């Protein structure tokens, strides 16, 4: 569906996209992650053929992007980070206006508009103007305006910024539903937990480059930090910390009262090995928890900084 290959985009002396590449298939939610200024929005604008780029190729639906290709444009939806709605039009009018840019048939458009409004849960607010909607509801309206025509590819740029928990859940559930209906979603966000929960694959960007891409598992395998197991012991010998450190592949043990956080190097059988150790030493415990590196850990290791830096 989307193929971006070695795209270079310069703003005078600044390289916004530096041989940036990624691919997205049908029904896939791709998280485009990176700190502010890393080139996410530039990449999206290039894919939307709004921005010229200096090198590389971008193909949507197997066709090179072209600002004159209305057939391709008709299959794309865009939900910009900033609200792009008319303050003076009510919910129905706003959605109808933007849907009208894609769908000429009035009857079909009415059906799609109603569907989009229901999809984002704004059916009770049909006659409300944006000024009378909360921040979260405005965001939902912003989304409804971008999805009413049922695009095959949807670009969602930070759709959950500054929204309440209820609206956030509504938006995330909606994105999942869209995927189920066959839409490919390019999703940019600062919220890594949200991306982890939502996306099938990820593209981590920094300084205009794609520094890692793939599923969460692929990314977890691409970094040195791996599994971390936390055990809360009931009985613990004095030298338990040293004993734990001698288990195969253990990288580090951090003790806090009777709770031990054991970090392992790459291995598939860490939890099994630990349980064997506990049984052999007749230790008792109340809680054991295994954690794979989160997207935050991956991001931190790959970029050397927190996403919100």
Partner 1 sequence: MNLLRLTKYLLLINFKDFGFLFWTIAYPLVLVTIFMATTANLGSNELSDIDVGVDSQYEYTAVLEEIEFINVQEMTESNARTDLSDEAITGYISSDGSLLVEGSGFEQTVLESVLNQVHQTGTLGVSPENFNYETDFIQTTDMDTEPQVVMFYSTIAMISLYTMFTSMELISSMRPNLSTMGARFSASPFSKSLYILASSLASLVLGLFSSGIVIGFLMIFYQDNLFNNLPATLGIVLAANFAGLGLGYIIGLTPKVNINVKSIFPVVLIVGLAFLAGLMGPGLRGMINQQAPLINQLNPLAHITDSIYRVNLMGNFDGYWMTILYLVGITLVSALITLVALRRKQYDNI
| Position 82 contacts partner 1 (CB under 8 A) | yes
Task: Tell me how far the alpha carbon of residue 4 is from its chain's centroid.
Answer: 18
Q: Would you state the structure tokens that stand for residue 65, as one six-digit string?
A: 């992007």
| Position 162 contacts partner 1 (CB under 8 A) | no
Q: Could you tell me how many residues of this chain bind partner 1 (CB under 8 A)? A: 33
Nearer to partner 1, 41 or 225 (CB): 41
Can you tell me which of 15, 48, 223, 253 binds partner 1, judged by CB under 8 A? 48
Distance in Å, CB of 15 to partner 1, minimum: 14
Check the CA dihedral 174-175-180-183 and report its sign: positive
Check the CA dihedral 243-248-251-257 and report its sign: negative
Helix axes 91-100, 106-119, angle to 10 degrees: 130
- The CA angle 86-130-114, to the nearest 5 degrees, is 85
Nearer to partner 1, 11 or 306 (CB): 11
| Position 86 contacts partner 1 (CB under 8 A) | yes
| Position 100 contacts partner 1 (CB under 8 A) | yes
Considering only the stretches 70-78, 199-207, 283-291, 292-300, report the one whose residues sit in contact with partner 1 under the rule CB under 8 A.
Answer: 70-78
Q: Would you state the structure tokens that stand for residue 56, as one six-digit string?
A: 């590389």
| Position 274 contacts partner 1 (CB under 8 A) | no
Can you tell me which of 17, 20, 49, 206 binds partner 1, judged by CB under 8 A? 49
Stretch 142-161 residues interacting with partner 1 (CB under 8 A): 145-146
SS3 151: coil
Can you tell me which of 36, 55, 70, 281 binds partner 1, judged by CB under 8 A? 70
| Position 133 contacts partner 1 (CB under 8 A) | no
| Position 98 contacts partner 1 (CB under 8 A) | yes
Nearer to partner 1, 145 or 213 (CB): 145
Nearer to partner 1, 8 or 223 (CB): 8
Q: Would you state the structure tokens that stand for residue 45, as one six-digit string?
A: 């604008």
Check the CA dihedral 164-165-170-176 and report its sign: positive
Do residues 181 and 11 make contact, with C-beta atoms less than 8 angstroms apart?
no
Give one word for 204, left, alpha or beta, with left for phi > 0 and alpha for psi -120 to 50: beta
| Position 221 contacts partner 1 (CB under 8 A) | no
The closest of 4, 72, 15, 54 to 38, measured between CA atoms, is 15
Q: Would you tell me which residues interact with partner 1 (CB under 8 A)? A: 11, 45, 48-52, 67-68, 70-71, 73-74, 76, 78, 80-84, 86, 88-89, 93, 97-98, 100-102, 104, 129, 145-146
């Amino acid at each position: 569906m989307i193929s971006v290959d070695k795209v270079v985009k310069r703003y005078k002396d600044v390289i916004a996209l530096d041989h940036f590449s990624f691919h997205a298939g049908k029904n896939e939610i791709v998280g485009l992650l990176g700190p502010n200024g890393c080139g996410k929005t530039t990449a999206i604008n290039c894919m939307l053929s709004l921005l010229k780029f200096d090198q590389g190729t971008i193909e949507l639906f197997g066709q090179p992007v072209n600002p004159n290709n209305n057939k391709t444009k008709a299959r794309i939806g865009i939900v910009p980070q900033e609200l792009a709605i008319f303050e003076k039009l009510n919910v129905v009018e706003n959605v109808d206006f933007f849907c009208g840019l894609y769908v000429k048939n009035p009857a079909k458009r009415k059906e799609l508009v109603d569907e989009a409004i229901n999809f984002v849960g704004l059916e009770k607010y049909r006659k409300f103007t944006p000024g009378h909607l909360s921040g979260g509801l405005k965001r939902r309206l912003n989304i409804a305006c971008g999805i009413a025509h049922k695009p095959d590819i949807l670009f969602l740029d930070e759709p959950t910024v500054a929204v309440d928990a209820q609206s956030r859940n509504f938006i995330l559930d909606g994105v999942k539903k869209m995927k189920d209906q066959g839409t490919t979603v390019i999703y940019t966000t600062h919220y890594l937990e949200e991306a982890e929960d939502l996306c099938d694959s990820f593209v981590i960007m920094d300084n205009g480059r794609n520094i890692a891409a793939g599923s969460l598992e692929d990314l977890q395998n691409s970094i040195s930090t791996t599994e971390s197991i936390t055990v809360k012991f009931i009985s613990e010998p004095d030298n338990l910390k040293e004993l734990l450190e001698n288990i195969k592949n253990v990288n580090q043990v951090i003790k806090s009262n009777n709770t031990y956080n054991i970090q392992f190097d790459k291995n598939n059988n860490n939890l099994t090995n630990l349980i064997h150790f506990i049984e052999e030493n007749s230790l008792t415990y109340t809680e054991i928890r295994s954690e794979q590196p989160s997207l935050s850990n991956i991001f931190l290791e790959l970029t050397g900084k927190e996403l919100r830096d």
